[in-house]
Amino acid sequence: MSVMFKNGLVVTSTGSYKADVFVDGDTIKSIGTELFGQADEVVDAGGKYILPGAIDPHTHLAMPFMGTHAQDDYETGTIAAACGGVTTVIDFDLQQKGESLEECVERKKSWADGKAVVDFSLHPGIMDPRPEIIEEVKKAVRDYGTPSFKVFMVYDFRVDDATMIKLLEATKKYGGLVQVHAENVYVIQHMNEVFEKEGKLDPIYHAKSRPNLAEEEAIARAAKMVELTGSSLYVVHLSSMEGLRKIQEARMKGLRIYAETCPQYLLLTEDRYKEPDWQGAKYVMSPPLRTKESNEALWKGIAGGDVQVLATDHCPFDFKGKKDMFGRDDYKKIPNGAPGIETLLMVLHTEGVVRGRITLEKMVDVLSTGTARMFGLKNKGEIAVGKDADIVVFDPKQNFTITCSKLHMNVDYTPFEGYEMKGMPVAVYSRGKKVAQWNKDQLDFVGEKGRGRFIKREPFEGF
Ligand SMILES: [Zn+2]
């Protein structure tokens, strides 16, 4: 199967140019002007962008959490990804007590078996840091193809600072990257007790119990561990202006600290928690939504290069029956998480590029090229000869109003309901095969269940 994309604007992280792109089988074979040659399918991409498929490196497909589980599994989650122009997912794979990292990786791979419609990889999450697990980091980097490791500084399954330091040393030695959920657990525990006594249990207290300084302190502490070890660190879902400042200070010192943020932290504020009828529960995620000041600071952090990756933290729970029931009368019991995998690219294009906050090239960098480099996806993230043909044909003039019923995520709401989009994917290809197609007023999934492959990633190189 071959496809010729004619006359599109090829967008890379460093510039854009008009060209034809020829794909044969899984890969991009040639790029040039007025390419000749036969193709099974010819796509007129005049007036459209040819973008590398987005990579979402922060998802929780089918993850058990807080008495329930994230509702998108590998089938529905990757279908939604495909329909949003996301052609690679790096999913969190949280270790169970007693498991080796290999068992952990094999277990989650088996959940994807026969289901994934786009390619995926895994980040093992270290929850049971026995000495042999720290030893196993070497194998995970070199043999399993999973060189990034998630740790939490919060929740019951957090690791202590000594474990984080050991992990930073191990990843430095073998070419891995530690990813951290940075919030100070004791601040949060204390605030929870205070609000419990005062009977303050509405969703807004979820935000108040996790103040910006909890993130700021944890990032500052993690930065000291990086300074101590000379290792590298990736901060997941950065949410606050204060946290960003700590990252900037560390980077000014020459420390290799990288950051990811998500659309919800760029666009939404804690006012959402005050929506009537307990609807604020929809936005209960950790870290919580912040204020306008943090939104604006994070946009500047992306534009200025201190935030290198955009992700979603996709972890959906229905509002009706889950968010509103489990946590009824107490914000602490509301399952934490929100959907986002399908709206990542469209929202970043409209709110970032169309509104002039970032360039089109920067969008490609934080969604694809930079993400592939960060996580060792050597065949992904770029429209270039030899790379996988993960391609989004994007129409910058196509309008779309975000509404839950036109999306494919397995959940009953979207935090971006009613947002007016300018620019949408109109066709999405995963390794040369079409997986999503614009149809009248929405995207339809046209791919094949089980075609998505587990991708072994390269060790982290640092930059
Ligand atoms: Zn997460």
pLDDT of residue 36: 81
Q: Is residue 388 part of a domain?
A: yes
Ligand 1 centroid from CA 60, angstroms: 7
Count of residues in the chain: 463
Q: Is residue 458 part of a domain?
A: no
Whether 294 and 401 share a structural domain: no
Q: Is residue 393 part of a domain?
A: yes
Residue 275 corresponds to which tokens in the numbers above? 């929506």
> Where residue 39 sits, what CATH number does that domain have?
2.30.40.10
Whether 79 and 105 share a structural domain: yes
Ligand 1 centroid from CA 461, angstroms: 24
Boundary residue ending a domain (317, 345, 374): 374
Compute the average pLDDT of residues 17-37: 94
Whether 361 and 417 share a structural domain: no
Compute the average pLDDT of residues 6-30: 97
Mean pLDDT, rounded, of the chain: 97
Q: Is residue 455 part of a domain?
A: no
pLDDT per position as a tens digit, 96-107: 999 999 999 999
Overall domain count for the chain: 2
Whether 10 and 141 share a structural domain: no
Compute the average pLDDT of residues 71-89: 97
Q: Is the pLDDT of residue 68 over 90?
A: no
Ligand 1 centroid from CA 58, angstroms: 6
Whether 43 and 152 share a structural domain: no
Compute the average pLDDT of residues 369-373: 98
Going by pLDDT thresholds of 50, 70 and 90, the confidence category of residue 159 is very high
- 131-139 vs 101-112: helix crossing angle, rounded to 10: 60
Ligand 1 centroid from CA 172, angstroms: 23
Whether 75 and 201 share a structural domain: yes
Boundary residue ending a domain (339, 374, 409): 374
Which sign, positive or negative, has the C-alpha torsion 95, 96, 101, 102? negative
Residue 308 corresponds to which tokens in the numbers above? 């290198």
> What is the Cα 330 distance to its own chain's centre?
28
Ligand 1 centroid from CA 400, angstroms: 27
Ligand 1 centroid from CA 403, angstroms: 23
pLDDT of residue 279: 95
Whether 197 and 278 share a structural domain: yes
Whether 41 and 159 share a structural domain: no
Q: Is the pLDDT of residue 38 over 90?
A: no
Q: How many CB atoms lie within 10 A of CB 320?
A: 9
Ligand 1 centroid from CA 103, angstroms: 21
Q: Is residue 460 part of a domain?
A: no
pLDDT > 90: what percent of the chain? 95
Q: Is the pLDDT of residue 37 over 80?
A: no
pLDDT per position as a tens digit, 209-222: 999 999 999 999 99
Ligand 1 centroid from CA 190, angstroms: 23
Q: Is residue 222 part of a domain?
A: yes
Ligand 1 centroid from CA 47, angstroms: 36
Q: Is residue 452 part of a domain?
A: no
Residue in 43, 111, 99, 45 with CA at minimum distance from that of residue 74 = 111
Ligand 1 centroid from CA 313, angstroms: 5
pLDDT per position as a tens digit, 134-156: 999 999 999 999 999 999 999 99
Q: Is residue 461 part of a domain?
A: no
Domain of 254?
64-374
Name the pairing type of β-strands 119-125 and 442-445. unpaired
Ligand 1 centroid from CA 285, angstroms: 9
Boundary residue ending a domain (374, 399, 415): 374
